[in-house]
Amino acid sequence: MGNIIVTPPNKVAIISGPKGSRMIIGSTGWQWWCIESTKKLSLELMTLPINSRSAETTKGVRVTVSAVAQIKVKAIDTTAEGSKIKYDRKSINIAAQHFLGDKEEVIKEALTKTMEGHQRQILGTLTVEEIYKDRAAFSERVREHVMEDLGNMGFELVSYTVTSIDDNNGYMESLGATQTALVKREAAEGRARNEAEARKKVAQYKADADIAASNAVREAHVEMLAQKEMEAKADRDLNMKKAEFAKEVNAANELAKAAGLIEKAKQDQKVVQARTQQEAIRMQVQVEVAQREAERIQQEKEGESLAELVEKTNKAKAIKIEAEAEAEKIRAIGEAEAAAIRAKGAAEASVLQEKAEAYKQYGEAAITQLIVEQLPALAKEVAAPLQNTGKMVFVSQDGKAGSMLTSDVTRILSSLPETVEGLTGIDLRKLVTGKKASAEVSM
């Protein structure tokens, strides 16, 4: 029989018995009753205040140094490769040999005394100035000096920081005052140097500015004189140009005045000529007006006879238009009835097509005889609509208006051979021509 031992990651359980010792970190294990015992050791980080009071430095000045150290059991092997955590079982065994079963206060006291002894020992090798000016170097020396002893105890120094350095004789304060005075002196010297340099620069810049201003004034005066000289030359040239222009203007005025007199004489002459021409034109206009009046009277007389002629012509044209309209009406009626006959023939085409085979049995001569006998009846039917016409007026310029009606009837009948050939396949023209030829031979 036994117990199940459970340990978190921040503790190690060491089970001891007949078979030796085994440790469990962050897992579970088994302890047999009576023959095995289990004790736990903390792996947590411990924060320890390290105070060294009235510790002598290398020159005998006593100082008080306060620091903070963080120490823990060296449980992790940092030299191991890979991402998996590997425990430093050797260091854990060393720490267990020294402190297994002890309370945490006992362990902290031992570690604090060890750290304080090493801190005091390092202070004895340094001067106050060295400690005051470079605390980081002091901390690094303490770290290097204590690492070996802590490792022999199974622990490691995680962090060490100096929080304060002080003394009871005012040495640190005097040192600070000296340093402050030195800094102030250097600041004053630097300020004085900068101010002197600034005054030198200002004086130099001012002298440069005065020289530049003098040069500018001189150059400006020279430019002003040159400008005045150019203005005087320009005024002279302008006055000369004005005199020349005035001379030219006067000459031009005299010429213009003389030309004006000459032009006035020419204009007066032209006015006289124009008045003479206007008088001649006025006389000519009066003659033309008289001629126009005579022509108007003559045209009025001619217009009366021309109006009678136009009236007669219009009456003749009206009769002609009425006759043409009546003829067009008759033509339209004839074409409409002819179209109706063609539509009826097209509707009966299927019947004629069926009869065509029967007609072939009679022979081409019999069929031809039958069709020829029907031609007068067809002509009668085509001309039948004309019987309803009471009066027909033919108006034609060539005298052929009456023959056009008979030609329409003849044209309708002439299309019958093509219709018969399309329905029966018999060419009436060839048959009639053949019969006529045979009759002539027999004669």
Show me where the domains of the chain are located.
Answer: 43-161, 348-442
Q: What is the pLDDT of residue 157?
A: 92
Using pLDDT thresholds of 50, 70 and 90, give the confidence band for residue 441. very low
Phi–psi pair at 25, nearest 5 degrees: -125, 120
Q: Please give the average per-residue pLDDT across 165-170, as a whole number.
A: 76
Q: What is the pLDDT of residues 338-369, one digit of tens each?
A: 777 777 766 766 666 666 566 555 556 666 66
Superfamily in which the 43-161 domain is placed by CATH: Band 7 domain (3.30.479.30)
Please tell me which residue, 328 or 368, carries the higher pLDDT value.
328
Q: What is the pTM of this model?
A: 0.39
Q: Is 4 left (phi over 0), alpha (psi -120 to 50) or beta?
A: beta
Cα gap 343→290, rounded to integer Å: 76
Contact 71, 159 (CB under 8 A): no
| 386: pLDDT strictly greater than 70 | no
- Pairing of the two strands 37-42 and 2-6: unpaired
Q: How far apart are the first and last CA of the chain?
A: 161
